[in-house]
Amino acid sequence: MNFHKELDARGLNCPLPILKAKKALAEINSGDVLRVMATDPGSVRDFQAFARQTGNTLLEHSANGQEFVFFLQRK
**Maximum Cα interatomic distance, the chain, rounded to a whole number of Å:** 31
| Count of domains forming the chain | 1
What's the whole-model pTM score?
0.95
- pLDDT band for position 69 (50/70/90)? very high
> Is 4 a known active-site residue?
no
User: The domain spanning residue 37 has which CATH number?
Assistant: 3.30.110.40
User: What confidence score (pLDDT) does residue 43 get?
Assistant: 95
Q: What angle do CA 4, 9, 14 make, to 5 degrees?
A: 125
| Residue 37, CA distances (Å) to 10, 66 in order | 6, 11
> How far is it, in rounded angstroms, from Cα 27 to Cα 43?
21
Given the residues 14, 16, 58, 59, the one annotated as active site: 14
Q: What is the per-residue pLDDT across 15-67, written as a single tens digit (0 to 9) for each?
A: 999 999 999 999 999 999 999 999 999 999 999 999 999 999 999 999 999 99
Instruction: Give the structural domain span for 34.
Output: 5-73
